[in-house]
Chain A
């Protein structure tokens, strides 16, 4: 059973301790895709990094608790956190190509995973070329959509319990976004799995999100069911966001 309880997180930045985000609490629901929607620059990426101590402590101060399977991640030593990020909580960051070392080919990233049939099945499932063609490529030879899928596969090969994704559809065309959506739904079918995803892609959120919250002006709203979220919930700022979107479609 998954237990991830985020309690009263605040994030301060810089010498003058500017408050970026304050008093955020939420529970990551089991077998569901939890989405935080928000505009550019609202601090979505900062928020997900804060949860497992990924923010540079010289610049950021994080208070509150992130209770995961009985321990508070924010007080764990770095070595323990590293273990958890390696095996339990997997991240896929925005701008996937730049997460890869430009001087190493794709084979470099896969050779540490000894279970070849599993990797091959994932490549196939994500509609990518097989290892013979793919593994000799360098990051500059990948399209954004290929890189995004590869990073997702590399994360899935570690069998995380929680998957944290930052703008998985940014700069990616819609057929690939469809595929990513299907694969994320597949991931959370299991009981002890959960996804936390931050995005400004409302169309994706509406189709993927089991529970959705809105982040604006340093405050995170409650999480609502997909249906409730799009039905006149009085969340500050959300109305304009939805209005702009409706004018675009």
Chain B
């Protein structure tokens, strides 16, 4: 019996090029325990989103294994243990449907019709999604409101693993802080395992128990969040941490690109 909730073994992914296959991810391996939060960091184009999609089952790996110890019976095809909040979260909301209807649909699959309204309302409240927005359509919400509505829709499916893909990008500090507090609340209240993909290391430090650093499709460092911040081992990790303080010289930048 394996104790980890998620185990990834030598995961690789590539896309077909004109002549050869172009590798996107190579030999990613890690274990994640239940109800822990893992951060995945690295520069854009390093393969972070691809990894998220592989874990969510949207893409199939060309090599390696992803093993979930989830609780869903195999014959139930309507529910999936993983949900993913994409970067452009507005896109998972139907612009022409009421938010409450969209969430109800997911709640009904999990919990039946009887408790549907109560569960949905509790969900909205715990995500601080204001009551006057419940009846609005997807297109009638601001970016931040869409993000909360999308989260409600994802959590209604009672995922065991929730993947957040760059949720903090293009937001001002106050929105980022609200969102960070919301994720910390979800982490505490929903008994859920979280994976957060971000290029902003500072926020990952506030949210995650463990961090993986990806550089050009390879996992260059993984470990406990504080250890990685206090004593980064790989030069690229050091480079990323320094970049957040705007401490990089032109020569240092040149040596990495």
Contact = CB atoms under 8 A, between A and B. Distances in A.
Contact of B240 (A38, A144, A167, A175): A175
A178 B44 contact: no
A245 interface: yes
Given A127-B257, A144-B44, A173-B199, A178 B243 contact: yes
A247 interface: yes
Q: Which of B171, B180, B250, B254 has the most CB of A within 10 A?
A: B250
Q: Which of B174, B177, B201, B206 has the most CB of A within 10 A?
A: B174
Given A171-B170, A244-B173, A248-B176, A127 B254 contact: yes
A241 B202 contact: no
A17 B166 CA distance: 37
A178 B206 contact: no
A175 B245 CA distance: 10
B41 to A, nearest CB: 9
Contacts of A171: 44, 166, 169-170
Given A175-B248, A175-B253, A181-B246, A249 B176 contact: no
B33 interface: no
B48 to A, nearest CB: 10
Q: DSSP class of B's interface residues: helix, strand, loop or mixed? A: helix
Nearest to A175: B243
Contacts of A207: 246
16 contacts: A38-B172, A39-B172, A39-B174, A41-B142, A127-B257, A171-B44, A173-B43, A175-B239, A200-B173, A208-B246, A240-B174, A241-B174, A244-B173, A244-B177, A248-B203, A248-B206
Contact of B176 (A127, A172, A244): A244
A43 interface: no
A121 B110 CA distance: 59
Interface residues of A, number: 34
A117 to B, nearest CB: 20
B5 to A, nearest CB: 28
A88 to B, nearest CB: 28
Contacts, number: 86
Interface of B: 43-45, 142-143, 166, 169-177, 180, 199-203, 206, 239-240, 243-244, 246, 248, 250, 253-254, 256-257
Interface in A137-172: 143-145, 167, 170-172
A235 interface: no
A175 B41 CA distance: 13
Given A145-B44, A173-B199, A178-B253, A248 B240 contact: no
Contacts of A176: 43-44
A182 B257 CA distance: 15
Contacts of B44: 143-145, 171-173, 176
A79 interface: no
A231 interface: no
Contacts of A38: 172
A25 interface: no
A56 interface: no
B246 A178 contact: yes
A244 B173 CA distance: 6
Contacts of B254: 127
Contacts of B199: 173-174
Interchain residue pairs A-B with the least CB separation, the first 8: A200-B172, A174-B243, A245-B173, A207-B246, A173-B199, A244-B173, A127-B257, A39-B172
A173 B166 CA distance: 11
B206 A203 contact: no
Nearest to B142: A41
A159 B239 CA distance: 32
Given A40-B143, A248-B180, A170 B246 contact: no
A22 interface: no
Given A170-B169, A174-B199, A248 B248 contact: no
Interface string A197-223: 000101110011000000000000000
Given A174-B200, A178-B243, A248-B203, 5 more contacts: A127-B253, A175-B257, A177-B246, A245-B173, A248-B180
